[in-house]
Amino acid sequence: MEKLLMTPGPTNVPERVLNKMNEKMIHHRTSEYSNLFREFNERLKFVFQTSNNVLTFPSAGTGALEASIANCFSTGDRILAVSIGDFGDRFIQIAKIYGLTVDEIKVPWGKAVSLEEIKNNLKDYHKGLIITHNETSTGAVNPIKEIGEYLKDKNILYIVDAVSSLGGIDIRMDEWNIDVIVTASQKALMSPPGLSFVGVSKKAFEYCKVSNIPKFYFDFLNANKFLEKADPQNPYTPAVSLISAANEALAMIEEEGLNNVFLRHKILADKFREEIKGMGLNIFTDENALSNTITAISFENANDIKNRLEKEYNIIVAGGQGAAKGKMIRVGHMGCINEEMIYRTMNAIREII
């Protein structure tokens, strides 16, 4: 049995994408690269559903999340932050490291924040709101759309961590008034890990101009300056082979159609959870906050289930994080995912229990 990655990233990479990486190396300061990068940027904008520029960095998603804080804010700025799990906590930790004053809305694990809680906690003095779209540690999704609509015309920067959702769940940067969205290559975008992507609104660039936090490699304004050249470029050597691979993955998403991709994720997620519940197992996540890219299943003996899936079935899933360590398995179903993979995973779990 072939190895199957049912993890919340890195996810399975289609052969068509993998094959792009062993093409002969090209140099980045050439028109050949600029043409590739131009096409890539147009495709990123398509998946981000935005007319804003989307910046690309060689880095993990965490690097770009940190960059969104270091670029958009100044030491002492006060922001509102929502955490519904481990990755929300990490985002808050980063903001604090950079000297921001962070007012926190902490939601119990497994649940999403409500628009009401945002309304009750958001004050005029908040310069930004940072929030996770899809909380990878709990499988819960925040109501990004409703919050964005509420924030329209408010004097606040809306920053969304969409690392484990963008490309798998509908997220409309422009329509939902999002100022900064961060994602990475190895999740729903079904590319190898090593690239992060940041959609940045014109409003966010204005915030960048007055930020007093030191930065260099992740400087948004500088990256944008290079991107806007007639022959688009990067300030520092880009990860050419990863960009070439991710460009192919985005082409596949374009060919399938964005809405079809979202629908496929939804159908497979629903199918998977229906079967899991049918086995008498407990989904950890509140049923009003279920993610289409990841499912967290509660188990007393989670480590055992995880190990047996790997050893006996060659299926890799993730364990629990933080307080949920040993108490859940997290099954990723995003990116290059189809019915057969879902069935293989369901059947393996059924046989084990």
CB-CB contact of 49 with 214 (8 Å): no
* Burial status of residue 181 (CB atoms within 10 A of its CB: 0-12, 13-18, 19 or more): buried
Judged by CB under 8 A, the stretch of 81-89, 216-224, 252-260, 338-346 that binds its own copies is 216-224
Q: How far is the CB of 260 from its own copies (least distance, A)?
A: 23
As a whole number of angstroms, the distance between CA 85 and CA 285 comes to 11
For 29, the token pair is: 């300061």
Cis peptide before 10 (omega within 30 of 0): yes
Judged by CB under 8 A, the stretch of 108-116, 118-126, 212-220, 268-276 that binds its own copies is 212-220
Direct distance between the N- and C-terminal alpha carbons of the chain, in angstroms, rounded to an integer = 20
Question: At which residue do the structure tokens 């188990």 appear?
Answer: 299
Q: Amino acid identity of 100?
A: L
In the list 34, 62, 121, 303, the residue contacting its own copies (rule: CB under 8 A) is 62
Looking at the Cβ atoms of 11 and 142, the one nearer to its own copies is 11
Q: How far is the CB of 25 from its own copies (least distance, A)?
A: 5
In the list 41, 55, 58, 289, the residue contacting its own copies (rule: CB under 8 A) is 58
For 25, the token pair is: 């190396």
CB-CB contact of 4 with 344 (8 Å): yes
**Contact track, its own copies, 159-198, x by CB under 8 A:** -------------------------x-x-----xxxx---
**Contact track, its own copies, 240-259, x by CB under 8 A:** xxx-----------------
In the list 98, 176, 205, 220, the residue contacting its own copies (rule: CB under 8 A) is 98
Q: With binding defined as CB under 8 A, does residue 125 bind its own copies?
A: no
As a whole number of angstroms, the distance between CA 314 and CA 122 comes to 47
**Residue closest to 94 by CA, chosen among 58, 129, 125, 63:** 63
As a whole number of angstroms, the distance between CA 122 and CA 295 comes to 30
Q: How far is the CB of 293 from its own copies (least distance, A)?
A: 15
Judged by CB under 8 A, the stretch of 4-12, 120-128, 197-205, 272-280 that binds its own copies is 4-12
Q: Where are the alpha helices (DSSP H) in the chain?
A: 15-21, 31-48, 61-72, 86-97, 115-121, 144-151, 202-210, 220-227, 240-256, 258-278, 302-313, 339-352
Q: With binding defined as CB under 8 A, does residue 25 bind its own copies?
A: yes
Q: With binding defined as CB under 8 A, does residue 97 bind its own copies?
A: yes
Q: How far is the CB of 319 from its own copies (least distance, A)?
A: 8
Q: Percent helix, strand, coil in the chain (nearest 5)?
A: 40, 20, 40
Q: With binding defined as CB under 8 A, does residue 326 bind its own copies?
A: no
Looking at the Cβ atoms of 263 and 319, the one nearer to its own copies is 319
Question: At which residue do the structure tokens 């059947």 appear?
Answer: 347
Q: With binding defined as CB under 8 A, does residue 229 bind its own copies?
A: no
In the list 251, 263, 281, 316, the residue contacting its own copies (rule: CB under 8 A) is 316
Which helix or strand (DSSP H or E) is residue 258 part of? helix 258-278
Site for its own copies, rule CB under 8 A = 2-3, 5, 7, 9-13, 15, 18-19, 21-30, 57-63, 66, 70, 93-94, 97-99, 184, 186, 192-195, 213-218, 235-242, 310, 316, 318
